[in-house]
Amino acid sequence: MYRITVLGAGNTGYTTAARLSLNGHTVTLGEIPAFAESISGIRNDKKILLQSPTGLEEVLINRVTSDIALAIKNADVILLTLPAYAHKSFANECAQYLTPGQIVILMPGTLGSLEFVRTLKAAGTTGITVGEVDTSPYVCRKTGVNKASIFGTVTHLGLGVFPAKDTDNVATIINSIFPGISKYTDVLECGLSAINPVIHPAGVIMNAGRIEYSDGEFYFYNEGVTTSVSIAIQAVDKERIQIGKALGYKLKPVNQAIHEAGLGPEGNLYHSIRGSKILTKLKAPGTMNNRWLTEDIPYGIATWSLLGTSLGIETPIMKSFIEIGSIVSGVNGWEKARNLNDLGINDLNVENLRTFLKTGEI
Amino acid sequence: MYRITVLGAGNTGYTTAARLSLNGHTVTLGEIPAFAESISGIRNDKKILLQSPTGLEEVLINRVTSDIALAIKNADVILLTLPAYAHKSFANECAQYLTPGQIVILMPGTLGSLEFVRTLKAAGTTGITVGEVDTSPYVCRKTGVNKASIFGTVTHLGLGVFPAKDTDNVATIINSIFPGISKYTDVLECGLSAINPVIHPAGVIMNAGRIEYSDGEFYFYNEGVTTSVSIAIQAVDKERIQIGKALGYKLKPVNQAIHEAGLGPEGNLYHSIRGSKILTKLKAPGTMNNRWLTEDIPYGIATWSLLGTSLGIETPIMKSFIEIGSIVSGVNGWEKARNLNDLGINDLNVENLRTFLKTGEI
């Protein structure tokens, strides 16, 4: 059992804090002061009502706090369950309190671990092992100020660690928290294996009319991921895989990733998504200004596309969804993109990049 | 009253043949032999049942034929109510039968008149005045082998004529057939003023999930052209207007065009479309492999985008819909595009182009 700090009190934060407490870990659920409102509903009694397929449980969280120093102190593992656009500010908030030997895992990361590392470095903080996983550990929703609902558990969370030479050690620990962990070569391979940016922008844009007409009141995966939407998602995926190939990775196609994560049956994308017993419970977002565009474009396909460009890989389909998504969400995906400079890898050739990812040194 | 030949027996062909017959014109409805099946339901009795807001009428068409020589002979005006991808083959079929002084109008053209002229020229046919209008004259559907339904009439059809020096003469004739004609500078300005390519690709792609989930069973304009879909359509429109500007045209924004065509109230695009009493009756196409993508991309926004590129105008949003539309419709918009060579204008600078459009000579 570990002392685990969960930072970020949204869908995944609430669910993870409750689930890991039930599993016997000593859990702190923390938020930075700016978002203290997110934990106001459980600050006093520290109880989360967790609805799961097996029933409703009241779960006591060991500590709930917006004091980051307190949240981080003595934690074995710090799990960041945050939107990607919050990674950098949390890195800045945490930098002075993190102590050598602590492990920080971004859930999911989508290359955010590289930005996190770069931010710690700028703050002079060293000796921290930073990792990221390829998707959220649970399919879940925060359903009230003290409630969360869990529809399914990802059975084979993929883990990337920086520096990659520490992967085995970190994976052993994370696997005892989230059983069934699979290991990526490094955080870059993991970040390129995120599922959300592959599915969300294409899916949302190609259901824009229905999302707005119905205020999101339909089952996104079951009703919205139709044949042509699957075709477009697979076209995004193909570009992603090409970028990976240029870096020497053999990335899993998204349908295989969905299946191996325990989210759906084996088969092509359409079959895997429509056959899912977990994803089918998720409704669509209600507007275009939502994280499936405002996060998964600038911190997902835009970052990938920029990486592709630096490698000479064309990404016309990603670019198309970035262009359209930018105008309909009101968030310019190119301007807000987590770019190669943010990742600290803009000046590296492929060889130096792989050395950096493995050793932490250039 | 005129001897009018309508070539093409689809939605617009059936409706136009019936409507103009009712108005007292002597109408021939023709098809090329390859599409003779389209007129099989009326070949014997030559009667079309026309449903309009004022009731059901049985209309006798003067002649129904798949003999193109017969169809064209003695016609004052030949109206082509065809998909854009049929323009060239009909030009080839008609070339040997057209006689000097005849007028051919593409309804709509989307720059097809330039391809038509080029095809006639290659066949050695001269003395034909070719024009095009900016949208179909009716909002209508062919509803059976001998039936058509008309929901509304476009009150201010825009007309472009090649060569443009003949515009006034031709407009006088066309205006007495379709009252309320407005004149464009030339066919290029008219072709850049088509409404369909502005609305359809963005509208269909951003409703892809619902179209496939419902087999098109929803009111496309009323339910599908929501806020963000309108935003995307306006972004396409803005690029189109920029292309026009580089050529010296002041193109009308699509919302103004819709209003002036009598299709909707004055106002912004969302207001104009949602307030329409005519467009609201139209359901969506049932699949992605339909003319709103397979015609309006390669013969609409792809042609415009190529023209834009030749003028140094960026069209990222058009390109985005071309890319996505190509993969989901199965028709590659770039490969199938009516390009500047097809239009016979690939080697012209802006000045020579305008001379050519005006005089018919380079």
**What ipTM is given for this predicted complex?**
0.92
Round to whole Å and give the CA distance between B78 and B104: 5
Q: What is the pLDDT of residue B79?
A: 98
Round to whole Å and give the CA distance between B335 and B338: 9
Q: What is the pLDDT of residue A281?
A: 84
Same domain, A79 and A99: yes
Q: Are the Cβ atoms of A209 and B232 closer than 8 angstroms?
A: no
Same domain, A49 and A185: yes
Q: What is the pLDDT of residue B306?
A: 98
Provide, as residue numbers in chain A, all residues whose Cβ is less than 8 Å from the Cβ of B314. none
Facing residue for B206 by CB, picked from A209, A231, A316: A209
- If DSSP codes are grouped into helix, strand and coil, which group holds residue A103? strand
| Residue B43 burial (10 A CB sphere; 0-12, 13-18, 19+) | middle
Q: Are the Cβ atoms of B229 and A210 closer than 8 angstroms?
A: no
Upstream peptide bond of A265 is cis (omega within 30 degrees of 0): no
Listed residues B153, B169, B191: the one ending a domain = B191
Q: Count the Cβ atoms, other than its own, within 10 Å of residue A37.
A: 12
Strand spans (E) along A40-128:
47-52, 55-60, 63-65, 77-80, 103-106
Same domain, B62 and B30: yes
Q: What is the pLDDT of residue A278?
A: 85
Q: What is the pLDDT of residue A221?
A: 95
Residue B79 identity (one-letter amino acid): L
Q: Which residue of B has its CA nearest to A322?
A: B320
Residue with tokens 């205006």: B175
Q: Are the Cβ atoms of A213 and B235 closer than 8 angstroms?
A: no
Facing residue for A226 by CB, picked from B203, B212, B225: B212
Tens digits of residue pLDDT in B99-131: 999 999 999 999 999 999 999 999 999 999 999
Same domain, A152 and A251: no
Same domain, B119 and B220: no
DSSP letters spanning A245-293:
HHTT--PPPHHHHHHHTTSS-SSSHHHHHHT-SSGGGPBPPSSSSSHHH
Q: Where residue B319 falls among pLDDT bands split at 50, 70, 90?
A: very high
Residue B87 is given by DSSP the state H
Residue A353 is given by DSSP the state H
Provide, as residue numbers in chain B, all residues whose Cβ is less than 8 Å from the Cβ of A227. 212, 288
Round to whole Å and give the CA distance between B344 and B31: 26
Listed residues A152, A174, A191: the one ending a domain = A191
Interface test with A, best of B200, B205, B206 (most A CBs within 10 A): B206
Q: Cα dist. B86→A279, B38, B157 in Å?
A: 44, 14, 22
Same domain, B221 and B179: no
Which residues does A contribute to its contact with B (CB < 8 Å)? 203, 205-213, 223-229, 231-232, 235, 288, 316-317, 319-321, 323-324, 327-328
Same domain, A96 and A239: no
Which token pair is B200? Answer: 């359809």
Q: What is the pLDDT of residue B274?
A: 86
Interface test with B, best of A199, A205, A206, A318 (most B CBs within 10 A): A206
CATH code at position A159: 3.40.50.720
Q: Are the Cβ atoms of B227 and A206 closer than 8 angstroms?
A: no
Q: What is the pLDDT of residue B362?
A: 77
Give yes or no for a contact between B113 and B130, defined as CB atoms under 8 angstroms apart.
Answer: yes
Parent domain of B9 = 3-191
DSSP letters spanning B30-68:
E--GGGGGGGTTTTTT-EEEEEETTEEEEEE-SEEES-H
Q: Which residue of B has its CA nearest to A321?
A: B320
User: CB-based contacts of B286: which residues, under 8 Å, 6+ apart?
Assistant: B211, B215, B216, B217
Same domain, A119 and A161: yes
Nearest of A205, A176, A152 to residue A76 by alpha carbon: A176
Round to whole Å and give the CA distance between B178 and B173: 9
Facing residue for A226 by CB, picked from B209, B231, B324: B209
Same domain, A156 and A244: no
Q: Where residue B182 falls among pLDDT bands split at 50, 70, 90?
A: very high
Q: What is the distance between the terminal CA atoms of chain A, rounded to a whole angstrom?
A: 35
Q: Cα dist. A264→A111, A203, A226, A269 in Å?
A: 25, 17, 16, 9
**What total of structural domains would you count in chain A?**
2
- CA of B227 to nearest chain A CA: how many angstroms apart? 7
Residue with tokens 């990361």: A109
- CA of A255 to nearest chain B CA: how many angstroms apart? 18
Round to whole Å and give the CA distance between B109 and B113: 6
Round to whole Å and give the CA distance between A156 and A37: 33
CATH code at position B272: 1.10.1040.10
Q: Are the Cβ atoms of B323 and A327 closer than 8 angstroms?
A: no
Same domain, A38 and A182: yes
Q: Are the Cβ atoms of B208 and A223 closer than 8 angstroms?
A: no
Q: Are the Cβ atoms of A316 and B323 closer than 8 angstroms?
A: yes
Provide, as residue numbers in chain A, all residues whose Cβ is less than 8 Å from the Cβ of B335. none
- Range list of H helices, A112-253: 112-122, 167-177, 187-191, 196-205, 208-214, 227-246
Provide, as residue numbers in chain A, all residues whose Cβ is less than 8 Å from the Cβ of B209. 203, 206-207, 210, 223-226, 229
* Residue A337, phi then psi, degrees to nearest 5: -55, 140
Instruction: Give the residues of chain A that fall short of pLDDT 50.
Output: none
Q: What percent of chain B has pLDDT over 90?
A: 94
Q: Cα dist. A160→A111, A165, A171, A183, A192 in Å?
A: 10, 11, 9, 6, 10
Residue A294 identity (one-letter amino acid): T
DSSP letters spanning B144-155:
ETTEEEEEEE-S
- CA of B11 to nearest chain A CA: how many angstroms apart? 26
Which residues does B contribute to its contact with A (CB < 8 Å)? 203, 205-213, 223-229, 231-232, 235, 288, 316-317, 319-321, 323-324, 327-328
Q: Are the Cβ atoms of B328 and A212 closer than 8 angstroms?
A: no
Q: Where residue B290 falls among pLDDT bands split at 50, 70, 90?
A: very high
Residue with tokens 């050793």: A359
The CA-based diameter of chain B, rounded to the nearest angstrom, is: 54
Provide, as residue numbers in chain A, all residues whose Cβ is less than 8 Å from the Cβ of B229. 208-209, 212
Q: Cα dist. A62→A14, A43, A173 in Å?
A: 13, 11, 20
Give yes or no for a contact between B251 and B193, defined as CB atoms under 8 angstroms apart.
Answer: yes
Q: Are the Cβ atoms of B206 and A203 closer than 8 angstroms?
A: no
Q: Are the Cβ atoms of B327 and A232 closer than 8 angstroms?
A: yes
Round to whole Å and give the CA distance between B179 and A157: 67
Facing residue for B232 by CB, picked from A224, A225, A324: A324
What are residue A79's DSSP bridge partners?
A: A6, A105
B281 has pLDDT over 90: no
Q: Which residue of B has its CA nearest to A330?
A: B228
Same domain, A241 and A174: no
Q: What is the pLDDT of residue B262?
A: 86
Interface test with A, best of B204, B211, B213 (most A CBs within 10 A): B213
Q: Which residue of B has its CA nearest to A323?
A: B317
| Residue B307 burial (10 A CB sphere; 0-12, 13-18, 19+) | buried
Same domain, B167 and B212: no
Listed residues A162, A191, A220: the one ending a domain = A191
Give yes or no for a contact between B10 and B85, defined as CB atoms under 8 angstroms apart.
Answer: no
Facing residue for B316 by CB, picked from A205, A231, A323: A323
Provide, as residue numbers in chain B, all residues whose Cβ is less than 8 Å from the Cβ of A224. 209-210, 213
Nearest of B229, B233, B5 to residue B102 by alpha carbon: B5
| Residue A275 burial (10 A CB sphere; 0-12, 13-18, 19+) | middle
- CA of A222 to nearest chain B CA: how many angstroms apart? 9
Nearest of A65, A127, A114, A119 to residue A94 by alpha carbon: A119
Q: Which residue of A has its CA nearest to B208?
A: A206
Round to whole Å and give the CA distance between A138 and B145: 55
Upstream peptide bond of A53 is cis (omega within 30 degrees of 0): no
Q: Are the Cβ atoms of B229 and A206 closer than 8 angstroms?
A: no
User: CB-based contacts of B328: which residues, under 8 Å, 6+ apart?
Assistant: A228, A231, A232, B205, B208, B288, B293
Residue B342 identity (one-letter amino acid): D
Interface test with A, best of B199, B227, B228, B323 (most A CBs within 10 A): B228
Residue with tokens 């919302």: B255
Q: Which residue of B has its CA nearest to A329?
A: B228
Return the higher-pLDDT residue of A281 and B86. Answer: B86
Facing residue for B328 by CB, picked from A232, A319, A321: A232
Give yes or no for a contact between B344 and B118, defined as CB atoms under 8 angstroms apart.
Answer: yes
φ/ψ region of B197 (left if φ > 0, alpha if ψ in -120 to 50, else beta) reads alpha
Provide, as residue numbers in chain B, all residues whose Cβ is less than 8 Å from the Cβ of A235. 327
Facing residue for B231 by CB, picked from A213, A231, A327: A327
